Structure 1
Amino acid sequence: MTKSKLALGLSTIALMATATAGFAQSQDACGLGVNSVRWIGGDASGSDISTVSDFEEQMALVLSGTNYVSQFELSSTTDVRIEAEGRGMSDPMFELYDSTGTLLLTDDDSGGGTSAMVETSLDSGTYCVLLRSYDNSPMTSYLRIGRQEHERLTSGVMDEEVISGVEEAINEALEDDMFSSDGMFDMPGLTCDSSMYAEPLMIGSSGTASVNEVPYWRFTIDEPMSVTITAEGDSADPYITLYDDYGGYLTENDDYDGLNSRIDMVDPLDPGDYCITMEALSDSYSPITVSVYEYDAEEVLMQSYASGEAAPPLDGSYPMTELADLTTRIRQDVRINGDVEWFSFYVPEGGLLLIEAITVDGGGDPFVYLYDDLGRQVGYNDDGPAGLDSMLATKITNGSYMLAVGDLNYGTGTPLRILLERYVPAR
């Protein structure tokens, strides 16, 4: 009989919210250093996936930057399926550990979309599933563990229709002799080697063309060199892939900066020819400016500050607006015209910090990063808990903090309103 997902979820939330939770808990299960671990089936006997009549399921409420750990048993070798499906914009991922704390496997998106799923055979024993949010933001997710004959929670990456399409493509490739001598499948128009014509590009220079005009660019380095490759063209939404002269895949990127792409090859490339393949995810007729230049660590650091992905020093060397001490509440308006705006503030006493960033005219998509005075990331949020506005809630101690506020609608100049509120523990 299929369990009611809603009933399970509501009962789980209620149990989690009380001190007398119905889920038996074990201390430091699987050697993960976690003191609160819930049996997937309520207790050890109900969590033996080898013998249960149906799958077991929990609803996990994961706060920002935290983990949720669930435990299950196998009394015999069993083919199991582990699945996690988020609600709303949640993006769950999980890790599977055995009783000794050995990491066995991890998954993010194999369940289709942002859902995680693994099907595997496990020997008898005790196992733990550590569930967390991919971007460390607050998350609500269902976790289901069962045998492979039980009902699925996720759709899976490849359903029957997709598999049929892949098989058809492979058959066509065999007919058209598209497999190379080493058995690899040559996708036309995606790989690039010395036999492919590519528009030449000098180190330290740029070239502009649409993907339809120039699908490949080539550059040459004469001595070992770290390089940076950028592709800029918001209307095109460029996607770039780097290959060596033999068609060997090196790396790829999409949406490093807004819709623009960037590759940083920090480890020096060997002397030789290299090829960049171009794809336009939006408009293949729209121009894209491609640049190749020597990697500059200082420039990359400045880019990290500008995007909010790293915190600048609190020594006045990088533009930052100093706010008043956060005793109770601060409201600040800002207009984002590209790079994030940085703010610093001091918290005289620890507690709960709530940060909200909303669009005044409803036309933006804000995000926030929070760092302590050492530059350690305390929290991040985009699109939560509802809509495109941001909300971050996290515990803090007294001290100095840095807040970066940005807008994913890059360069639109959208007015944003920021709210910082501090809540202290009841006494």
Structure 2
Amino acid sequence: MTDNNGQIASGTGWQSGEDLRQQGYESIFNLDLDNDGHIGEPPQDNNDDFDNTTNTSGYIEVGGTAEGTLEVSGDRDWLRINLVAGNVYSFAVEGQALDDTYLRFYDSNGNLLEENDDYNGFNSAINNYQAEVTGDYYLGVGAYADTGTGNYIVSANNNNQIEEPPQDNNDDYDNTTNTSGYIEVGGTAEGTLEVSGDRDWLRINLVAGNVYSFAVEGQALDDTYLRFYDSNGNLLEENDDYNGLNSAINNYQAEVTGDYYLGVGAYADTGIGNYIVSANNNNQIEEPPQDNNDDYDNTTNTSGYIEVGGTAEGTLEVSGDRDWLRINLVAGNVYSFAVEGQALDDTYLRFYDSTGNLLEENDDYNGLNSAINNYQAEVTGDYYLGVGAYADTGTGNYIVSANNNNQIDEPPQDNNDDYDNTTNTSGYIEVGGTAEGTLEVSGDRDWLRINLVAGNVYSFAVEGQALDDTYLRFYDSNGNLLEENDDYNGLNSAINNYQAEVTGDYYLGVGAYADTGTGNYIVSINETPLPPAGYSSSNGYGQINIQRAFEQYLNVTLAAADALGGNSWTLDNIYAPEVWRQSEGFAGATGLGAVVAVIDTGVDLDHREFTGRIVQGYDFVDNDLIADDGNGHGTHVAGTIAGAYDDFGVTGVAFDSEIMPIRVLGNDGTGYTSDIISGIRYAADNNADVINLSLGGGGYSQSMADAIEYATNRGSVVVMAAGNSGGISPEYPAAHAINNGLAVGAVDQYENLADFSNLAGSTTIDYVTAPGVDVYSSIPGDSYAFYSGTSMATPHVAGAAALLSGYDPSLSAESIADLLTGTASNTISDSSVNYLSSANLIYDEITYGNAFITAENVSSFSPEEFSGILIGRASDTCQFENFSEIDNMPILPVHQFEELTSNLYALNFDGLTDAYSYVSELLQQNYFHYFEFDQAWTVA
């Protein structure tokens, strides 16, 4: 506040708007400080009917109305009302001479709870307010912008009760649970709202679990309103204008069996006239038009029947006809049902239990045909398939089929069939072995018995030889289907990491996709070792702990450090400060002497965080020595690793380490395999101690795997982001951590795995976690920002590796990886680690499928696939001049060859008319060991 000289007065504190107005500050500052619509004192109104404070004389009863007047502009009238906790209320104000109303609602202390303008035209309403406490509340009536005047009517209603309508001795139905109104499910009832405010209740009996729909259609009644109440008269649902001015409540599932009530009224309780109300059970259908020639009834009394494994034909004779067919199912078995229209254009399939309750339904599963797939019967007994037309408007004949997914149709008779498709099969395979077989005819499926041990984990695979497209199923000892897979690896199939629940016989079922192929195959089974103690398929070895890694390596105990807090929580969570400081027998580690290659979008070379600690890198996108950052991702990564320790911006995990910027991703954050592997080899050849790969999105690449192995053997710790797709195992390149390097998942401040982070997977790899949610770090232009992703988690681990490498340069890459995995959070106590997140994981993304093109598999690729850039590993005897010796093949210009590393080339086949033949010849003549397609990658 200011004093008389215009200076700020001390010790005045905050004051209310009304106090400020009374002290004249509204006029001084020309502001409406008390929000009454006026600057200065409001117009004097000695005739004001109601005050606008909790001292108002205005009062309104629940279920009643009150009238009032806004005498002058800026007037607001408050009316006290008493509410009961838990009850639900609606309030409305309708202007008479007052044109545009505004309604506010306050608690007992005058605090605003809700407000509304123009709920219905210029009238205002607050609906469905549930009182939190019993006691006084206040309704505040005003004008829009506090500019209007005139009289009004305000109303208040308890939604748990209804208003008493005007007395009408001729009222057909009461509006309480004592009503004489009644309606049958599936029927209709007529009634009349005789006077304004009349509401008619009709009792209806519902069955728990069934689903119902209710509707009211006005006849002379113009605008209907439908309410639905439980047995005690509590409002459950309401609807206005579901269909034009008619109202409906659809798909209500009854919670208990017994009486309910439908309440029919008019919108705003102002209309009168007659109406028709209807109620339908969605688990049944309306009686179709009478058809004495109907083939099947639409109830559980139907004469229709279908065998499992068979088909049945029928006809919808008239619009609205639905045919039910009884079928007997066995509990635990899995079934599929389908209907195909013949003359019937657009089918609709429903499936009911033994009492006629709807279980599932489907429209247009396949074109205009319908299907319900993979239903597992809960009980043994009768069920019903209901065949109808879309919208019940079509007619015509149809064919319905039912199949047991645990069995197969009897294939065409083949006396030379090698293996049966039942548990009586002669087929057998040993764990760790293979077996060969043949699908002799279309529809053939071969079963092979196998003996498994409870608790052990197994993987199964089938590879087609002459059989093009395999399909693999896995059954228990009784022939019940447990798992199935198609096209796990190209056209071959596999079921991975199945943990046997009981010891005994199981069965592998080999078939063809859609049961249409024939030919020979090889099936294999291998026991998968259980993950080591302290490994989880969710978060691998857990969050890194740098303090524990050093303690284990040096056999010392490091002193605790004070938490940094704030945006540096990420450093606290991985115990970096404990390692920076000196302790007894330990000089501390800050990354001094370590070089970390950031293979990314580049790094802001002029950022204050890296002053004096940038070593020469390379830009493989623009092919120059200036690996600057035009995206920001790489700079953020680098800041987490090596941001300066200067009480400004961000402090890196290894703040004394040096950054080698290597740009392989463009300003849009994308790049290619050829540049990434060049970047990895550049870093390794230039003595990078740690390589950070915060990128992903491509598939398996043999040349990428070779580059990571090369760097590891040269002493570089390769740290890779697990991916942000939320998958059950890491994306590439992190999936290569099965052999070399570290994969990194992301956790939040509370060490919970981030929703987006790819999991470790059930195949044991070197996978750890680190903070990757809302990580604060550097971005170009001496700026800072919060980023999230496994890209942000990875540099925390890279920094940890740099601390170890800088402290002891003699440590190998494998030793550093072992220290970080062996001291992560899951290794503290392995008793609670969930080794397999699921006993039956079908998909494990660590696969070598479609890895590379060789002389053996080149024929499986189409010529159309050979365009653009391919990466190839040349043989030791390959020389450029040899390429001219390929008979009848064009000489590929030298400028279309790029040597990535020794014996690794990128070949650009754009413009070459027969690249497929060219590649085939290079492979067949042993000039190249393999080729692979260049892939696109992006920041992670």
TM-score (norm. length: structure 1) = 0.39
Kindly indicate which of the two structures has a greater share of residues assigned to helix. 2
Q: Which structure: greater strand fraction?
A: 1
Tell me the TM-score normalized by structure 2.
Answer: 0.20
Larger-Rg structure: 2
Higher RCO (C-alpha under 8 Å, 6+ residues apart):
1
